[in-house]
Amino acid sequence: MSTPNQAPQPPPAERSARFLCVPNLSEGRRDDLIDQLVLASRDPEVRLLDRTSDPDHNRTVLTLLGSADGLVRSITALVHAAFDRLDLRLHQGVHPRLGVVDVVPFVPLAGVSMRDAVQLARRLAAQLADAAPVFLYERAAPRPERRELAAHRRGGLPKLIERMRDGSWPPDHGAATVDPARGVLVIGARGPLIAFNVDLDAADPAAARRIASRIRQSAPGGLRGVKALGLALPTRGVSQVSMNVVDPSATSLLRIVERIREEARREGVELLASELIGLMPEQAALGALSEALGLPGLGLDKIVEHHLAATPARATGE
């Protein structure tokens, strides 16, 4: 009700927070190593919002919030730490990858534009060109055929190295020679994306693969804005429909789960649980909840704790 005239001066990390950056690291098993990488990424203008690791994917996804300068420092240090400590040749995991730091997408938040995020991606790419070949993807890609991450990944690192050698797919920054321990860097700018997985009660990934192939946007009758892969998760003895949901306003998470449930029923397998990798936008969470409850116009402002968290009192530890 009151609007303070004298707003408190925010600390540097908060004052300058403008982008999300979601580096994907090809290491999801050795916690001590992941700890070291996270430590390397620390910066006064960057805040770690989430860290999710999976042993079967053998992958860690960090969600960082920060300023352009802070994120360039943070990711540069993270990449060098990963190059020092990880070796792609030893990596085993079900998730596709091209480097020990596999993809580094920037997402513009309130107050900055996609153009700013593209500029930031290209600035980081230029800065890291001496360390590894760098490819730019999504909105940061110089040409439409380079937009899709899948276009860079096609055939995996061996095929990418071939395409670099024959000159058909030169890196956007750096030399066309690959240190096989490091792999390449793929840096981009994109809108928010939800990494969302649904586990199936079947060790054999065949059903998960068929379901993924039927629900992905590119399939006839597929779900708009959904990219999907079917994978085995041997550690847990289950399989997974692993997804990137790039447009939750076109297809809600609830609709996705319902569709996978229908498809799974036809396959004779059961859904076990869903999983969120990293964060999701408010609109996606509350959109799915609104749909499930038939409750229109549900925003974060309708959640008690949102108002408490918004008070600086909590940040002071009061």
- Read off the amino acid at residue 73: R
Which of 46, 132, 136, 207 is close enough to bind a second copy by CB under 8 A?
46
158-197 positions binding a second copy, by CB under 8 A: 192
Q: Does 307 bind a second copy (CB under 8 A)?
A: yes
Q: Which of 95, 152, 306, 307 is catalytic?
A: 95
Site size with a second copy, rule: CB under 8 A? 75
Rounded CA-CA distance 97/87 in Å is 13
Q: Are 27 and 100 in contact (CB under 8 A)?
A: yes
Name, in order, each residue with C-beta under 8 angstroms of 286's C-beta and a sequence gap of 6 or more. Answer: 298, 299, 300
Q: Does 69 bind a second copy (CB under 8 A)?
A: no
Q: Does 304 bind a second copy (CB under 8 A)?
A: yes
Q: Does 262 bind a second copy (CB under 8 A)?
A: no
Q: How far is the CB of 207 from a second copy (least distance, A)?
A: 17
Q: Does 280 bind a second copy (CB under 8 A)?
A: yes
Is 173 designated active site?
A: no
Which of 48, 114, 129, 176 is close enough to bind a second copy by CB under 8 A?
48
92-151 positions binding a second copy, by CB under 8 A: 109-111
Q: How far is the CB of 77 from a second copy (least distance, A)?
A: 12
Q: How far is the CB of 183 from a second copy (least distance, A)?
A: 26
Rounded CA-CA distance 40/42 in Å is 6
Sign, CA torsion 263/268/273/278: negative
Which of 77, 112, 151, 254 is close enough to bind a second copy by CB under 8 A?
254
Rounded CA-CA distance 25/16 in Å is 25
4-43 positions binding a second copy, by CB under 8 A: 4, 6-15, 17, 20, 41-43
Q: How far is the CB of 145 from a second copy (least distance, A)?
A: 30
Rounded CA-CA distance 178/133 in Å is 7
Rounded CA-CA distance 150/106 in Å is 17
Tokens of 124: 């980081």
Q: Are 56 and 235 in contact (CB under 8 A)?
A: yes
Q: How far is the CB of 47 from a second copy (least distance, A)?
A: 5
> Annotated active-site positions, please?
95
